[in-house]
Amino acid sequence: MSRSLTITFCCNTAFAIANFRAGVIRTLIQQGHRVVVVAPDDGVYMGVLRDMGAECIAWSLSGRSTQPLREWSALNELTAIYRKVKPNLAFNYTIKSVIYGAIAARRTGVPTVSVITGLGYVFLNRGWVSSIARALYARTLRWSREVWFLNADDEETFQSLGLVEGTRVRRLPGEGVNMNHFALQPLPGSLAAGRTFLMIGRLLRDKGVLEFVEAARRVHKACPTTRFQLLGAADDENPTAISRKQVDEWVAEGVVEYLGVVRDVRPSIAAADCVVLPSYREGAPRSLLEAASMGRPLVATNVPGCRDVVLPEVSGFLCEARNAQSLADAMLHAATLADEAFTAMGLQGLDHVAKTFDERVVVQNYLSTIDRLVP
């Protein structure tokens, strides 16, 4: 790319852009390109993105709304943004941004790439919202120049449902992890002292929070020295959100510690021995990638996304989704593993992430795509 281009990144949260795509944004800005982020203004991460050198435009999108007039207004607002910014290429993430971004791009003649970051609520649950979402995917994805998936299972699901044409499909190796930023850290605990299990993510039922709490009760009963921590936002807009009141009740019971929401997860990962994600389905689970990069063994469900990151019995343990006993068995195995084997497991995960999910590979995918799609 010898000339300066305008590239937009559109998403339902500024946090996701700042946290997952910082590497590619910084690279594009360093190369002299104009990067414009379009997302709802959360009062925090728009500032983080501006500090990187990106322009930010607040978008009045609600992730939870299903009101037709409000959704029509959000679509028209995004169309107006594209007309004003005139991007050479637009990258759109998460369901509403992908669907509305494709429509806005078609209206304005902007080439767009739709990134399917995970199947989420509308594929895990049935109902009229799910049916409408699938129909809109089928209609609008044909207007994208390319459709990216973060794992093979999600790609296969879209293909089997006839939601996307295979000729324009590409697979990205996750969102990538900056392995210098998430550097190897020594394990804090030991078999004798007891191990700390940390779950990171939005506190949603679909993430397996209820199973994590119930499994924690069972493991703690067998191994009283173990500790269990939750890190992430409660009271989310998602329909499957766990309330802060419920979290406070678990803390009062003594089953888990709640770490709240933090800007930098590295100290929390460094203070934990094992990172857990009992999700029902993932795109490319960032918490597992970051934890593995820091040398932490993993426990996760045997579902799309998670099983791409965890090497069973090598870098961690896989369990059944929606099954608290299976999760408890996996965590108990990790809790009672000899120190040498436990440390080796974390190093195997680090090696796997370095070979497969290094951020530099992902950034190069973006740069080659821009070269290919922008005349």
pLDDT in tens, 287-319: 999 999 999 999 999 998 899 999 999 999 999
Pairwise CA distance, residues 63 & 136, whole Å: 16
Instruction: Calculate mean pLDDT across residues 117-130.
Output: 70
Q: Is 198 helix (H, G, I), strand (E, B) or coil?
A: strand
Q: Can you tell me the mean pLDDT for 186-212?
A: 94
> Both tokens of residue 154?
């999600």
Check whether 67 has a pLDDT greater than 80.
no
Domain 196-356 has CATH 3.40.50.2000: yes
Residue-level pLDDT at 135: 87
SS3 for the chain is CCCCCEEEEECCCHHHHHHHCHHHHHHHHHCCCEEEEEECCCCCHHHHHHHHCCEEEECCCCCCCCCHHHHHHHHHHHHHHHHHHCCCEEEEECHHHHHHHHHHHHHHCCCEEEEECCCHHHHHCCCHHHHHHHHHHHHHHHHCCEEEECCHHHHHHHHHCCCCCHHHEEECCCCCECCCCCCCCCCCCECCCECEEEEECCCEHHHCHHHHHHHHHHHHHHCCCCEEEEECCCCCCCCCECCHHHHHHHHHHCCCEECCCCCCCHHHHHCCCEEEECCCCCCCCHHHHHHHHCCCCEEEECCCCHHHHCCECCCEEEECCCCHHHHHHHHHHHHCCCHHHHHHHHHHHHHHHHHHCEHHHHHHHHHHHHHHHCC
- pLDDT of 124 > 70? The answer is no
pLDDT at 126 over 70: no
Return the pLDDT at 160. 87
Q: Once rounded to an integer, what is the mean pLDDT over residues 111-120?
A: 89
Whether residue 370 is predicted with pLDDT greater than 90 in this model: the reply is yes
Residue 277 β-bridge partners = 300
Between 61 and 113, the higher pLDDT residue: 113
pTM recorded for the entire structure? 0.85
The reply to whether 196-356 shares the fold of 6-176+358-373 is yes
pLDDT at 343 exceeding the cut of 90:
yes
Mean pLDDT of all residues belonging to the chain: 92
Mean pLDDT for 157-181 is 86
Domain spans of the chain, in order of start? 6-176+358-373, 196-356
pLDDT recorded at residue 281: 86
Instruction: Write phi, then psi, for 154 (nearest 5 degrees).
Output: -65, -40
Give residue-wise pLDDT tens across range 236-289.
667 788 999 999 999 999 999 999 999 899 999 999 999 999 999 888 899 999
What is the pLDDT averaged over residues 352-362? Answer: 92
Q: Which fold has domain 6-176+358-373?
A: Rossmann fold (3.40.50)
